[in-house]
A = this chain, B = another copy of it.
Amino acid sequence: MYHKESVRIHKTLLVELDSLKGETTFRIGNISIQVEGKDGIGGLIEEWFGIWADKHRFNITNPKKQGSSQEFPDYYIGKDQSLLEVKTFDFSASANFDLANFESYCESVAHMPERVDSDYLIFAYRLEKSALKIENVWLKKIWEITCPSERWALKTQTKRDVIYNIRPANWYSDKTKYKTFASKQDFINALFKTQQDYTGSSYKTLYLENLSKMNKQ
C-alpha cells in the first residue's frame, strides 16, 4: 500500500530510532547554551529528515529545493514521483499538526485524485529540558490518521463555524472516542460529506470523473 521507498525509509528510521537524539545549541563567542524552547522544532526535524535521507541515498526530491513554491508534496519519492508528506508532533501532547487546508485539499483531491494516496511519514518527538529524542516514526495513509468528529464527518480545525484545516486522529492511542477510518473510501466519503454540509455542495462528482480518467490512463 505504501511506496516501497517510503517503507525502506521508515524501516531504516526505526532501526536507527535509539540513536535519534540531539539538541539545539546557541552560541555567541565562546559561550554556548543548550536551548530548551520548543519553537520551530518541527520545522527543524523536517529539514533534518531531508539531509538524513540524502545521506542515506534514498530516492526522494524536495520540490522547494528546486525552486518550486508549491504547497505540496513535501517530497517526491521513487521514479514514479509518488507523494510523501512529513509531519512532526510533540509526543508529550496530542498530535495536532495540520494535515492540509480543508478547502484546498478538497479542490486538489478533486483535480488530482492521486493526492489521497500520499504517504505520510510522522515523527513524534519529546523534549526534556534541552534533550531532544525522536520517540517514534509512523508511515501512514491519510485515512489511517483521520477520523470523524462530533461536528463533522471529518475531524477538522473549526473556529467560529469556519473550517480551517484537516486535523489528525489520535491514531496511536487506544483511549480515543473516534476511531480512524476503515478505508480510503470511508475517508473520501467523509471529506466530501463535510464539504457538502459546510458549503452546500461538494466536488465528489468531479473527483469521481477525474479518478475514472486516471484509471483509464
**Chain B minimum-CB-distance residue to A123:** B28
Contact residues in B for A45 (Cβ distance below 8 Å): 28
> Which stretch of A15-23, A101-109, A154-162, A165-173 is in the interface?
A15-23
Bin chain A's interface residue count: 20 to 34
Given contacts A37-B40, A39-B39, A40-B37, are A51 and B31 in contact (CB under 8 A)? yes
4 tightest CB-CB pairs across the interface, nearest first? A22-B28, A22-B27, A39-B39, A26-B44
8 additional A-B pairs beyond A22-B27, A23-B26, A39-B40, beta carbons within 8 Å, are: A22-B26, A22-B29, A24-B24, A28-B48, A29-B52, A31-B52, A33-B44, A35-B44
A57 within 8 A of B: no
A191 within 8 A of B: no
Please determine whether B29 and A20 come into contact, CB atoms closer than 8 angstroms.
yes
A51 interface neighbour in B16, B21, B33, B51, Cβ under 8 Å? B33
Please determine whether B48 and A26 come into contact, CB atoms closer than 8 angstroms.
yes
Please determine whether B23 and A27 come into contact, CB atoms closer than 8 angstroms.
yes
Docked Cα-Cα span, A51 to B47, in Å, equals 30
- Chain copies in complex: 2
Contact residues in B for A29 (Cβ distance below 8 Å): 16, 19-22, 52
Please determine whether B22 and A24 come into contact, CB atoms closer than 8 angstroms.
no
A9 within 8 A of B: no
A100 within 8 A of B: no
Please determine whether A24 and B23 come into contact, CB atoms closer than 8 angstroms.
no
A28 interface neighbour in B28, B39, B43, B134, Cβ under 8 Å? B134
A151 within 8 A of B: no
A25 interface neighbour in B21, B25, B52, Cβ under 8 Å? B25
Please determine whether A31 and B44 come into contact, CB atoms closer than 8 angstroms.
no
Please determine whether B47 and A43 come into contact, CB atoms closer than 8 angstroms.
no
A79 within 8 A of B: no
Query: Chain A 174-217 against B: per-residue CB contact (8 Å), 1 yes, 0 no?
Result: 00000000000000000000000000000000000000000000
